Amino acid sequence: MLSGSDDQQGAAHAARGAGRLIAGRYRLTDQLGRGGMGTVWRAHDQLLARDVAAKELHVFTQGDEDRRVWLRRAVREARVVARVPHPHVVGVHDLVEYEDRLWIVMELIDGPSLAQLIARNGPLEPTKVAELGAQLLGALDAVHAAGALHRDVKPANVLLRRDGSAVLTDFGIAVVDDGEALTNSGEFAGSVEYMAPERVNGGEVGPASDLWSLAATLVTAATGASPFRRPAHAATLHAVAYEQPNLPARLGPLLPAVEALLRKAPEERPSIPDATTALRHAAEGLAADPRSLPSATVRIAIPAGVSLADAETRTRQHVPWTDHTAPTAAPTSRYDAATAAALMRRDESRRDRRVMGLVVSSVALVFAGTGLGLFLAGVPPFERSAQADASDGKEPGSEAGISLPAGTPLPATPVVNESVVHGAEGWQRVTDTPIQSGDTVTVRFTSGQWTVDDPEMPLTGPEGYDAETDKALDFAAADCKVNDSAPFGALLGRFTEAGEGEESHIVGKQWTFEAAAGGMLELRINDGDNGCIADNSGDLSVTVTVAKGA
């Protein structure tokens, strides 16, 4: 940590900053802000004739181990942000050392922070907050894909451009996911009231922790107060770890999304695609059905005679297996006072009821035709295998109080993962589920659009541009098309077996194949890596279902 004398020296150093020429290139003009890690200056890049933001880190490049730790943290901040080219992540231009100080030169966002805007004008409309939230989810998705966590998402670290769009900034305590901890034992790096419960409790910190912090930020933006702020620091910590958030009815259509993202257990929070969909609906004044916000990864047991597509739909919409006639619930509903009242009737017994419901549903039997099958609704299958039961002299399923005829196979357990494919990246791995020989894999498009030339070309979906639009790009086809038989913008897939590459396939809206050997699934946009994808933008959301072979 920095000592008091270090901080005083840093303040004095910053006070004489205006007019200085940094590294022979950046002329400082006025101070934009000062925080725990650095002072941010408006500066003019004399080489490229543009205004930039120059962050002067409050740590010398020479000194003891504590200084070197902070220096490594600062360098990582710059590297993490620099490799995330996203419209809602602040751009990093340069990293220079000057007068024994480290300077990070960044894109200048000529607008207030979200915290400043709230302090000046009061809470924002929930629909506007939802719009900003969807933008910031896209930023976090890009940060996580780069192998990093932000770890300090809060209103002060969200800047607003002149057009009102949000930019995520200040990765001062970001940690690259390579196992090296950059904080001292027991040190809380970040703002307590926006800190996820797993950080307070010493649990495992991951991407879901950033989503929790974002939800707390959105509540603050829409209500003017943090949902966990208490008069004392210790009370705030306790509230984050154990108490339910304060979610006023003013949140309106934003309420279901933030409530789901603020679930105490990280694994219970929804995925980024589901949360993004919910926030986009909220931006239109629609409140998401809470059932459309399940946890990020769902493991399901599929009964005989039920297709993977139907299983996936039922799981995502929480439709019981026994209800074959009821229509699926509408994904959204118009927000009104009745909806608010229903959503606000929450208490501690809700979790107990949900757990009991899962236990009961996990042992439900459904008779279909003349065959007896075991149907599990939305919970993991038996952890013990049929072989283990047999070795104990028990029939499979007897531990759950169920007796099956000898030789009756247990249902398969496909794994359904959700992922986002970025238009501005090359081949991207879309599932961590091991794929082995005999497995059936289905990739299914769910939402989103992208373009191969922003802003010149229109947005398109997974099937790519129509023939006429695609023909307009013939001049670039030879150099940029990954798959010559598919139009630009089409969703492509490949399955790499045993370390050997395979030709790309046209995924479109759906692609199903059986793996001949173990391997890795990757997806991308049909636009080449050799300088072609630099001007792309947009994302597609997909589900990947892996059904294990016999």
Contact 542, 492 (CB under 8 A): no
Q: Residue 302 burial by CB count (10 A; 0-12/13-18/19+): exposed, middle or buried?
A: buried
Residue 80 makes CB contacts below 8 A (sequence gap 6+) with 143, 146, 148, 171, 174, 176
pLDDT band at 112 (very low <50, low <70, confident <90, very high): very high
Q: According to the model, what pLDDT value does residue 155 have?
A: 95
Domain 415-547 has CATH 2.60.120.430: yes
Mean pLDDT of 339-360: 36
Which is the catalytic residue, given 94, 141, 152, 274? 152
* pLDDT tens-digit readout, 318-328: 444 333 333 33
Taking 80 as the threshold, does the pLDDT of residue 223 lie above it? Answer: yes
Cis link prior to 455 (omega < 30° from 0)? Answer: yes
pLDDT band at 259 (very low <50, low <70, confident <90, very high): very high
- C-alpha span between 429 and 433 (Å, rounded): 11
Q: According to the model, what pLDDT value does residue 269 have?
A: 95
Taking 90 as the threshold, does the pLDDT of residue 76 lie above it? Answer: no
Q: According to the model, what pLDDT value does residue 501 have?
A: 54
Q: 169-183, 242-256, 483-497: which range is least confident on average?
A: 169-183
* pLDDT tens-digit readout, 422-475: 998 889 988 878 888 888 999 999 888 999 987 778 899 999 999 988 988 888
DSSP 173-193: T-EESSS---S-TT---S-GG
Mean pLDDT of 367-382: 34
Which residue's entry shows tokens 């890009």?
A: 142
Q: According to the model, what pLDDT value does residue 22 have?
A: 93
Q: Is 394 known as a binding-site position?
A: no
Q: According to the model, what pLDDT value does residue 107 have?
A: 92
The structural domains of the chain, with segments of one domain joined by +, span: 4-106, 114-176+190-296, 299-324+336-400, 415-547
Which of 107-111, 252-256, 456-460 is predicted most confidently? 252-256
Domain 114-176+190-296 sits in CATH at 1.10.510.10
Q: 253-257, 281-285, 325-329, 487-491: which range is least confident on average?
A: 325-329
Taking 80 as the threshold, does the pLDDT of residue 174 lie above it? Answer: no
- C-alpha span between 208 and 101 (Å, rounded): 34
Share of the chain above pLDDT 70, in %: 67
pLDDT band at 70 (very low <50, low <70, confident <90, very high): low
Q: Is position 64 annotated as part of the catalytic site?
A: no
**Alpha helices, DSSP H, located in 332-377:** 337-344, 349-362
pLDDT band at 265 (very low <50, low <70, confident <90, very high): very high
Taking 70 as the threshold, does the pLDDT of residue 477 lie above it? Answer: yes
Q: According to the model, what pLDDT value does residue 418 have?
A: 85
Q: According to the model, what pLDDT value does residue 217 have?
A: 97
Mean pLDDT of 219-229: 95
Q: 167-176, 213-222, 304-313, 345-354: which range is least confident on average?
A: 345-354
- C-alpha span between 443 and 430 (Å, rounded): 10
DSSP 77-102: HHHHHHT---TTB--EEEEEEETTEE
- C-alpha span between 251 and 276 (Å, rounded): 17
Taking 70 as the threshold, does the pLDDT of residue 182 lie above it? Answer: no
CA angle 117, 122, 123 (to 5 degrees): 95
Which of 148-152, 353-357, 502-506 is predicted most confidently? 148-152
pLDDT band at 132 (very low <50, low <70, confident <90, very high): very high
Taking 80 as the threshold, does the pLDDT of residue 360 lie above it? Answer: no
Q: According to the model, what pLDDT value does residue 62 have?
A: 54
Q: 139-143, 246-250, 313-317, 482-486: which range is least confident on average?
A: 313-317
- C-alpha span between 43 and 28 (Å, rounded): 4
More confident residue, 496 or 136: 136
Mean pLDDT of 166-174: 78
Mean pLDDT of 112-135: 95
The rounded mean pLDDT for the chain is: 75
- C-alpha span between 507 and 412 (Å, rounded): 25
Domain 4-106 sits in CATH at 3.30.200.20
